[in-house]
Every structure is written in C-alpha cells, then in structure tokens.
Amino acid sequence: MVRDAEVRISMDGRGRWMDNVFIEPPWRSLKYECVYLHAFETGSELWNGLARWITYYNTQRPHSGLAGQTPAEAYGRIGETDHGGHAPHDLMTKLAA
C-alpha cells in the first residue's frame, strides 16, 4: 500500500520526527500561557501580547533545561537593550514571516 502510494519512509534527514522536538515546547508554552488565557480583540493586541510574552519567556522565566536560568542569562545577553517589555522589531518581523 505504501509503495503503491509512492510514499518515502525516512528516519533521518529532513522531515524526521526529531525536527520538531526542540521547537514544540516553546510553542506549547506560548499557546497555554499567553494565547489561550487572553481574549485578544485585534491583531495588534495579539501582536503586542505575543511580544510581551516572548520577552518574558526569554528574560524572566527560568527554564529547567537551562539549570534554572533564563535564556538571556544562559546565552550571555544580560545587559543588552531592554525593549520595554516588547520583543525587538526585527525579531517580531522574523516571527511573522
């Protein structure tokens, strides 16, 4: 049946199950800690809410996988420009793409 449908089964390379392992936890957290808890009325409210949450996630929320540090602490970004609770515009532009 699989051969008839010309489906390729691959356990390595692009498209394998591990491709999403590293991105799934942040997106799940974003959905459950931000999106599902707020009734954003407009796109701009959503955009601002997401930007605030991403900044919080990276600069204030400790991560068990980083020995209780925030990503900013773990990757040496403490002391960089504070964006007032919002992600930098270039980051949000990349996320929207």
Q: Within 10 A of 14 (CB to CB), how many other CB atoms are there? A: 6
Q: Compute the half-sphere exposure of residue 18: CA atoms within 13 Å on the CB side of its CA.
A: 5
Give tens-digit pLDDT for 50-75. 999 999 999 999 998 889 999 999 98
**Pick from 55, 57, 34: nearest CA to 46:** 34
Predicted confidence pLDDT, tens digits, the chain (97 residues): 667 777 766 656 666 666 666 677 788 899 999 999 999 999 999 999 999 999 999 999 999 888 999 999 998 865 555 554 455 555 555 555 4
Vertex 88 angle, CA 86 and 92, to 5°: 90
